[in-house]
A and B are shown apart, each in its own frame.
Chain A
């Protein structure tokens, strides 16, 4: 009958020690959990849906970065490689040439390269592009719409409230996962996105 253990009362020092250990353990576990969640959770960044964009020109003027973090990108697989490129040449161009007076882009940010008769390739010079979408409008009106705008994430400072999104008349600005930050035409229509638009 004396087998029955008598419970030893916990003294104050032991109680505080156990309490401290438990608190520390729980804190560490919580910290690890938060860190793991942060590491696995995807951040979001701003991007333009090219199918909603109306080429209003506001991307050039309303970005907090100068020149704008929005640039024209070229979906080469959609391009017709036209000599008569509506995105490169002014509608009333006097010749199909690279002469400044014939170029539509206000900053001459499109490079025209001969491929083979009568095809030409058009490359965006990003350092010159201001994201005005003039070429986008010309390409959409007369061509295949291969030129379109995208927020470049090497330039974008990812404001909490994007100042362009605030004035975008077409609600074309979206929050997209940072792991797939671009909505490139062609890929985008098939449900994929690419990490590098160039």
Chain B
């Protein structure tokens, strides 16, 4: 009788012990618990930026009530954001001036006296009240328009699908295709592995196009011949890394380039010869796994970013206002 009592106690202790092991195993090995990844792809070392290289500071973040921001432009004191199926006009304080519902989901925007919108493979011209003025013929099923730039005479249309820039008159008439592989003109042809293909115009009105597969920015004459180019390929802060960078680009006064990168998300400034100047926004200022923000600039050399993940317009100004 006494032995049976001892055996019962021993069995009870063993049952509790086994239950403890099962419970521990259940919780310790559960999903989401920290298990080191021996194969981790660690790029954190390259995402570090020396604080002395940061030459801009964030001064404002404007929240957008949209689901999918697509692009940004700035003209005459107004920030234009395209998102979902609408175009939003804000002032720099973030006050909503106008919201226009569009006929589809736009992919790119440029603004002069008129608003130029791209819808995947076609361009639509609007007035600033959002009324459609003209619709151009589409560029075919293969076309993916990722950027627009507008000068006094021409609209430039960047087509990532066909790896070309179309130079067009305001009525949509095609003047020439820029960037087609042409050894006579010294044009190697764009390498565009993904739909990141941005263009901008310099102070003199010359076209600059990103060649993302080569980590280059290429400058073209009025006749479509290559004028100059520069390349910065490096995983370090002063270069571009990955398959398709810079993802977005714009030009400041004095022909300084503002570039935005994916992968290691950062926004930087280069001079007109492609020499690295400094950082506008470092990787730690973006969410993990962020998209490269779209960029534009205002007349005060402030850099305006469209943060696709936070759904914000983020305004950065020079630290010493000497940039």
Contacts and interface: CB of A to CB of B under 8 A. Distances in A.
Interface in B213-253: 213-215, 233, 235, 241-245
Among B40, B242, B243, residue most surrounded by chain A Cβ atoms (within 10 Å) = B243
A142 B245 CA distance: 9
Interface stretch (B15-23, B30-38, B166-174, B297-305): B30-38
Interface string A30-47: 000000000000000000
A84 B35 contact: no
B32, B37, B241: most-surrounded residue (chain A CB, <10 A):
B37
Contacts of B263: 86, 141-142
B37 A58 contact: yes
A143 B215 CA distance: 13
Q: Identify whether the interface residues of A are mostly helix, strand, loop, or mixed.
A: loop
B41 A82 contact: no
Interface residues of B, number: 30
A118 B189 CA distance: 10
B321 interface: no
Contact of A169 (B31, B40, B193, B242): B31
Contact of A141 (B40, B41, B213): B41
B39 A106 contact: yes
B39 A57 contact: yes
A28 interface: no
Contacts of A119: 191
Contact of B40 (A57, A80, A118): A57
Given A82-B213, A91-B235, A92-B46, A144 B39 contact: no
Contacts of A142: 241-245, 262-263
A142 B246 CA distance: 11
Interface string B163-197: 00000000000000000000000000001011000
A49 interface: no
A4 to B, nearest CB: 74
- Interface of B, helix, strand, loop or mixed by DSSP: loop
A81 B213 CA distance: 10
Contacts of B242: 84, 86, 141-143
A91 B241 contact: yes
Interface in A47-92: 55-58, 60-61, 80-86, 91-92
B95 interface: no
B183 to A, nearest CB: 12
B59 interface: no
B193 A143 contact: yes
Contact of A56 (B37, B213, B233, B264): B37
A56 B33 CA distance: 12
Contacts of A82: 191, 193, 213, 243-244
A84 B46 contact: no
A138 B243 CA distance: 10
Contact of A57 (B37, B191, B193, B233): B37
Interface in A116-143: 118-119, 132-134, 137-138, 141-143
A104 interface: yes
A106 B37 CA distance: 13
Contacts of A170: 31
Contacts of A144: 193-194, 243
Contacts of B244: 80, 82, 142-143
B29 interface: yes
Contact of B31 (A57, A143, A166): A166
Of the listed residues B39, B46, B245, B264, the one surrounded by the most CB atoms of chain A closer than 10 A to its CB is B39
Given A80-B194, A82-B213, A86-B263, A141 B43 contact: yes
A143 B243 contact: yes
Nearest to A143: B243
30 contacts: A55-B41, A56-B35, A57-B38, A57-B39, A80-B193, A81-B193, A82-B191, A82-B193, A84-B215, A86-B241, A86-B242, A86-B263, A91-B241, A92-B235, A104-B41, A118-B213, A134-B40, A137-B41, A141-B41, A141-B289, A142-B245, A142-B263, A143-B193, A143-B242, A143-B244, A166-B29, A166-B31, A167-B35, A169-B32, A171-B31
Per CB-CB distance, the 6 closest pairs between chain A and chain B, nearest first, are A80-B193, A142-B242, A132-B39, A57-B37, A82-B243, A137-B41
Interface of B: 29-33, 35, 37-41, 43, 46, 191, 193-194, 213-215, 233, 235, 241-245, 262-264, 289
